[in-house]
Amino acid sequence: MNERELAERFSKDIDRIIQDNKAKITPAGPDREEYMKTIELARLLAETDFSDECKITRDLRQRLLDKIKVLGGRQIESPELDEDDLENVAGGIEPHHGHQPDE
């Protein structure tokens, strides 16, 4: 089994684990023990619930937004720019996209 075939086999085995974490996987490659260690790591990752990390991200985002509510001495009601702020935003166009450069 060459390196490409081993990579394809590993990818298929990972897909099987994602579909069914209890799927029976047969070791492959020259170092079968290392292959199975990697497969077991994939099983662990597939069954791990990362939803708490998502909550942490959401909570952190809210805390950061709460901390920046006062910006430049004025209260910000939302993270969106108001009309005055939009006037200060520089815009650009794509070159040669419906606009001829001035000559």
| pLDDT, tens digit, 9 for 90 and up, residues 75-86 | 555 556 667 666
Does residue 93 register a pLDDT over 90? Answer: no
Q: Which of 50, 26, 52 is nearest to 39 (CA)?
A: 26
Residues 38 and 23: their CA atoms lie apart, in Å, by 15
- Please state whether the predicted TM-score (pTM) of the whole model is above 0.75: no
Does residue 22 register a pLDDT over 70? Answer: yes
- Mean pLDDT of the region 46-72: 70
Residues 19 and 48: their CA atoms lie apart, in Å, by 14
- Mean pLDDT of the region 8-15: 92
Does residue 40 register a pLDDT over 70? Answer: yes
Weakest-pLDDT range from 2-6, 17-21, 63-67, 81-85: 81-85
Collapsed DSSP state (helix, strand, coil) of residue 13: helix
Domain range list for the chain = 3-47, 51-84
φ/ψ of 30, rounded to 5, equals: -70, -30
Does residue 72 register a pLDDT over 50? Answer: no
12: Cβ contacts below 8 Å, ≥ 6 apart: none
Residues 42 and 34: their CA atoms lie apart, in Å, by 12
